[in-house]
Amino acid sequence: MSNEKSNDSQNFADMTAWLQTPLGKNLLGTEFSLLESMINRRFGYHLLQLSCADIAVYEDSPIGHKFCLSPSAKGKNSSLVAQAEAIPLTAESVDMVVLHHALDYSIDPHQLLREADRVLIAGGHLLIIGFNPFSAWGARHKLSRRSGKSPWKSNLLSSMRLSDWLKLLDFKIEQVHYGLYSLPINNPSLIRYSSFMGKLAQRLNWPTGGIYVISAKKQALPMTPIREPWKALPRRAKGLALGDNVSIAPTQPHKKTLH
For residue 173, being part of any structural domain is answered with: yes
Q: pTM score > 0.85 for this model? A: no
For residue 118, being part of any structural domain is answered with: yes
**Beta sheet of 211-218, edge-to-edge order:** 78-81, 65-70, 46-51, 94-100, 120-131, 211-218, 171-179
Residues 213 and 38 sit within 8 Å (Cβ to Cβ): yes
Per residue in 19-73, pLDDT tens? 999 999 999 999 999 998 889 888 999 999 999 999 999 988 999 999 999 988 7
For residue 41, being part of any structural domain is answered with: yes
For residue 238, being part of any structural domain is answered with: no
- The helix or strand, by DSSP H or E, that contains position 8, with its residue range, turns out to be helix 2-18
For residue 226, being part of any structural domain is answered with: no
Q: What is the CATH number of the domain that holds 113?
A: 3.40.50.150
Q: Range of 185's domain?
A: 2-218
Per residue in 124-139, pLDDT tens? 999 999 999 999 999 9
Number of domains composing the chain: 1
Distance CA 35, CA 37 (A): 6
Per residue in 84-116, pLDDT tens? 999 999 999 999 999 999 999 999 999 999 999
Residues 28 and 59 sit within 8 Å (Cβ to Cβ): no
Question: Per residue in 174-213, is it b (16+ CB within 10 Å) or e — as a string?
Answer: eebbbbbbbbbeeeeeebeebbeebeebbeeeebebbbbb
Predicted local confidence at residue 234, as pLDDT:
55
